[in-house]
Amino acid sequence: MDSRAAAAEAMRLAIEYWSQFVARCISQRLDTEKFENYVRLVHDQHPLPPALVADFFLRPQPSNDNSLDPRIPPYLQVLTRLGYVDAPSILKALYKYSSLHAYAQQPNANDGKETEKETEQRDDKEKDEQKQKVTRWKSSYWAEEVLFYGITKSVVEGKAIRDSKTALDMTRIISKLMVLFTTAFAADMLEQLHTAQVRDEMESSRAALVALLLRMCENDILVGAVSKPIAKDVRKEMSASLASFVPTLQLVPQITDKLEQFRTEILASSDPADKKKQATNAAMDELLDSAVGLDNFVVAEIPVSNTRAGLYIYLNAALIARPLLDDHALFSYMSNKYQGDIQSSAIDLILASFDILANAVFRNEGQKDAHLLRSFLINKVPILLYQLLPPGFPGTSAEFCITEALSHVDTSLFPTASLMFDESRNNNPYTESIREEFCAACVLHGLVQREHVERILGEISLSYEPSLQKHSKDKLVQDCLSDTEKIQGLVRELDKMDGNVGAVCQALVESLDVILLFEKLPNILEPLCQLLDNWRYEDDQEEYQPVYEEFGAVLLLVLAFTYRYNLNAVDIGIASPDSWVAKIIGRGHIGRQCNELTQRENDHLNGWIHGLFDTEAGGLGDELMSSCPPQEFYLVVAPLFQSIVVAYTHGYLNDESLKGGIEYLVDTFLLPSLVPAIRFLADYLWIDQKEQKSIIKILQLILLPSSISGEASTMLSSVKNLIAKPLEHALRTYQRRDPKNQDIEPLLRTLKDSIPLSRRTGGTDLNELESWTVTPPTGLSSAIKLTIQGLVHWSIHPAMNSMPTSYTHRQILAALKIMGPKRVLHVILEEIRQHAEAGSASIVYDVAISLICAPDAAKDAPAVVDANGNMLPPVQRQRSLRDLLKVEAEGCRKLQKKDPALAEIVVRLHRRVEAQMIIPQPPGILQTAEMSLNLDGDTAALGDAMAAAASGVQGDNMSVDNLTLDVSMGGVPSDLGLGSANDGGSLDPSGDAAMFEGFDTQDMDNFDWDDIGNSF
């Protein structure tokens, strides 16, 4: 008894001392540094549990019961850091003294309907509170808001919830707080009790509680704790609190969905269901599924219009990145869409081709896209029309479709010949004379009679060449075989706009014996890759430098494709993991330590280091290159440069030795190796601060050589074209860290002209992305809604605006990466619902179907078999909108219980999408003698990649790029739609753009925790 009495007396003294200490700290306005020193002494002499300490600091004081003193939150930060209080103790004290109790305890309008038991419970609670005489704050909302956010930050940092006991304690008190807020906001006397200011303060406090609640729901320790059998009562209390709390919130669907998911999937699933009831429900669900499955789900048919936006979206998506225009897929798409109406198909195809070019000009993307889109319109569309409506085709003539389509083309943007001489007009170089060039190409293919061109155009044509003749592929092949100089002349013809490019490309494919079929990307690059993989030294090989030079030139063309379109080995048709090209593409730019290299690789590395930098060893000789085949050399390029950076940083290489070694590397026989080397240096520049100045020095010697031959300079331009974009990102990031560094800007200037040629992946630049993510009220999702609304409005009123609505498929690709396909799909479904209710169902369904069925280079399935007929391994890719729509449709019966209207929309859209994507057998009418090879969109892909590997010589004001196929990589002008210099910072899946993953204005992951201050 004496020990108990002593303990009680010690507790009484401790409570009295702490009470005086808190009052004195507040009255003397003690700063946090002195407070920390004093509180350590007080706690050592009079230790108390966290709940009591927090209670002393958060309770109303005798001299102040209006609002918490502003000195208390900083004191609590000190106490939390010292371990004297924790998150559950703070939350318990906040709950105990919250002003919300005053409103939650107001008489209920249903008091007269209370049961006897409920009345007794309420009376007992009131008696207990009167006995305890709890004094509460008159206004605790600002303090609750600040402390809730502080605890939220602590949860994010992993400090607040360290074990299961703490997790369960926090869950219990959070449940009580939710009930308190729910009751206070639902009180009958709310309007009379609350002024507008008080209501706003209560809303702010509740918003802070929601932020805390969201982070708790994501905490692994808490989820694990509430899932245990011992936490059954806690789960039940939390579930009931959430069920009443969430409906009172006016939040974005993402937040309410997350809270509801936690309640239904985490809390509810942790309790074992009644087995008898579970079996009954399962049997009933099975019976309903068999009776009302997806195939038997009845929805009312709604006619879907063929809007002008349909093919506009499809072609925009097909040409926004790597061109994906497969003839058979396009004809199948149009056949399904137009149900065999060839006339409408042809007219809308022509209109959509003009629309995407007009859109590029309207969006100021002419420099980047206009040449590719012009080439598509003039060189590709006539071939497609020839297959749709060949001469002699019964019924509708191609000439009628062309005439009808051109009558709807806006002459203000695509002027006639006479309008081009009107000095009052500002003619655009990307669109002028395109009507005449298109008609000339149609004449060339026999779609239009020459004497009818003036009638179609409405005036005399000024650009038609009477001597223009249609090329024959077979004749061109024979000419090239007999005169190799003819090849370079044909390459120059790729720039022309006369309708002959298709035959030229086919002839080059066969003549060079490098690209076998001009159809699919694997068919273009697989022969090159096989050549590189099987490259061997001859038995009587005497000189090895020419072998390196030839190997590098071919590899440079392959790298041009892979870097420009961000391709992997599977994309280009490489099935074997032992392929040298696959290894070079996959890890040729990745640095490795010596202990990660094989013995043979270490030997090669030592040999190249001595050959490049050891002047006494005699430099690079045939002995070194004979022992190291070029395939193996390209795999040690990154480790080689890693060793060079380290050696120069630590003084093992001086400036003169470094310069001499780099001079070898900028010679033509080693220059292609700079592609993986500079890619490695760019990545190295991001992560290593100690050695960054050495990296800059090496880049200066490579990109700004003091002396270089003309042939090497041309090849160096090709290398810069491939690595410009990632290197620019790395340099600008380093420049932001070291703004006084004068060595960065010259490097950026030498890359400026190469940036437009570096990437074409459908990625968006940072400025464009920011403009979408700040769209009110919900950022990127709101931007997509506005885009859909613009497409629907344009389709409803095409005559009101001759210009197409602004659209870029980059927005959809960015949204799929940032928001995920599920959220994007729900945005589309929401827009369908709204426009259908407004009476535009037939229009909005066509827009939605086009968005979901649009081709995507990132998800374009690779070939099932390789060139030898061998099965390729399956590739795991992110699910598409179509995949997610199918999943939603398969759960239509469950969805119908929650939202019948949405279930009908999902099922109807799914059926339309699947019908749209059926690939029928190609009809015989499409097979013609001249079209034995399918001139699809990879024609442009070939030109793009060749241009990316070219020399970089500047052309006219249309930003004409450079193209070459000879081993020396000599520059030949060409521009097939390479990107503009304004593309910096693109959202490219190649690596650095991953910094934008999850970026959305309404995303809790972007909450600025640093603005809160310290955590609790």
**Percent of the chain whose predicted confidence (pLDDT) is above 70:** 73
Q: What is the pLDDT of residue 105?
A: 62
Q: What is the pLDDT of residue 791?
A: 95
Query: What are the b/e assignments for 907-944, b being 16+ CB within 10 Å?
Result: bbbbbbbeebeeeeeeeeebeeebbebbbbbbbbbbbb
Distance, in Å, from the CA atom of 638 to the CA atom of 674, rounded to the nearest integer, reads 9
Number of Cβ atoms within 10 Å of the Cβ of 854: 22
User: Is the confidence at residue 955, as pLDDT, over 70?
Assistant: no
**What is the mean predicted confidence (pLDDT) over 992-998?**
34
Sequence-separated (6 or more) residues with CB below 8 Å from residue 99: 136, 137, 138, 139, 140, 141
Q: What is the pLDDT of residue 316?
A: 93
User: Is the confidence at residue 517, as pLDDT, over 70?
Assistant: no
**What is the mean predicted confidence (pLDDT) over 218-223?**
90
Per-residue pLDDT band at 568 (split at 50, 70, 90): confident
Number of Cβ atoms within 10 Å of the Cβ of 651: 7
What stretch of H or E contains 963? strand 962-963
If you average pLDDT over each of 389-403, 654-668, 756-770, which comes out highest? 654-668
Distance, in Å, from the CA atom of 411 to the CA atom of 719, rounded to the nearest integer, reads 42
Higher-confidence residue: 286 or 266?
Answer: 266
If you average pLDDT over each of 177-191, 536-550, 662-676, which comes out highest? 662-676
Per-residue pLDDT band at 417 (split at 50, 70, 90): low
Give whole-number Cα distances, 188 to 146, 205, 255, in Å. Answer: 28, 20, 27
Query: Per-residue pLDDT tens for 289-336?
Result: 544 567 777 888 899 999 999 999 999 998 888 887 778 888 999 999
Task: Say if CB 791 and CB 840 are below 8 A apart.
Answer: no
Q: Across all residues in the chain, what is the average pLDDT?
A: 77
Distance, in Å, from the CA atom of 331 to the CA atom of 333, rounded to the nearest integer, reads 5
Sequence-separated (6 or more) residues with CB below 8 Å from residue 161: 87, 155, 167, 170, 216, 219, 221, 222
Q: What is the pLDDT of residue 509?
A: 30
User: Is the confidence at residue 833, as pLDDT, over 90?
Assistant: yes
Structure token pair of residue 1015 = 């955590």
Q: What is the pLDDT of residue 191?
A: 56
Task: Say if CB 414 and CB 353 are below 8 A apart.
Answer: no
DSSP letters along 204-227, please? HHHHHHHHHHHHHHT-HHHHHHHT
Please report, for the chain, the start and end positions of each structural domain, with discontinuous segments joined by +.
2-107+134-275, 340-457, 582-758, 766-863+875-925
Q: What is the pLDDT of residue 427?
A: 60
Higher-confidence residue: 986 or 726?
Answer: 726
Sequence-separated (6 or more) residues with CB below 8 Å from residue 334: 311, 345, 349
User: Is the confidence at residue 930, as pLDDT, over 90?
Assistant: no
**What is the mean predicted confidence (pLDDT) over 213-232?**
89
Question: Sign of the C-alpha dihedral, residues 475, 477, 481, 486?
Answer: positive
Q: What is the pLDDT of residue 437?
A: 86
User: Is the confidence at residue 481, as pLDDT, over 50?
Assistant: yes
Higher-confidence residue: 998 or 452?
Answer: 452
List, in sequence order, the alpha helices (H) in 838-965: 841-853, 881-890, 892-898, 900-916, 938-948
Q: What is the pLDDT of residue 151?
A: 93
Query: Per-residue pLDDT tens for 865-891?
Result: 444 545 555 556 678 999 999 999 988
Q: What is the pLDDT of residue 756?
A: 77
Structure token pair of residue 52 = 């009591």
**What is the mean predicted confidence (pLDDT) over 559-580?**
84
Q: What is the pLDDT of residue 6?
A: 78
pTM over cut 0.85: no
Query: What are the b/e assignments for 409-427, b being 16+ CB within 10 Å?
Result: beeebbbbbeeeeeeeeee
User: Tokens 């209370």, residue?
Assistant: 114
Higher-confidence residue: 876 or 829?
Answer: 829
Report the candidate in 976, 1006, 990 with the shortest Cα–Cα distance to residue 763. 990
Q: What is the pLDDT of residue 266?
A: 80
Distance, in Å, from the CA atom of 645 to the CA atom of 639, rounded to the nearest integer, reads 10
User: Is the confidence at residue 718, as pLDDT, over 50?
Assistant: yes
Per-residue pLDDT band at 859 (split at 50, 70, 90): low
Task: Say if CB 949 and CB 557 are below 8 A apart.
Answer: yes
**What is the mean predicted confidence (pLDDT) over 653-662?**
90
* Helix axes of 900-916 and 881-890: crossing angle, nearest 10 degrees: 130
Query: Per-residue pLDDT tens for 34-66?
Result: 999 999 999 999 899 999 999 989 999 888 888
Higher-confidence residue: 825 or 558?
Answer: 825
Distance, in Å, from the CA atom of 575 to the CA atom of 573, rounded to the nearest integer, reads 6
Q: What is the pLDDT of residue 789?
A: 95
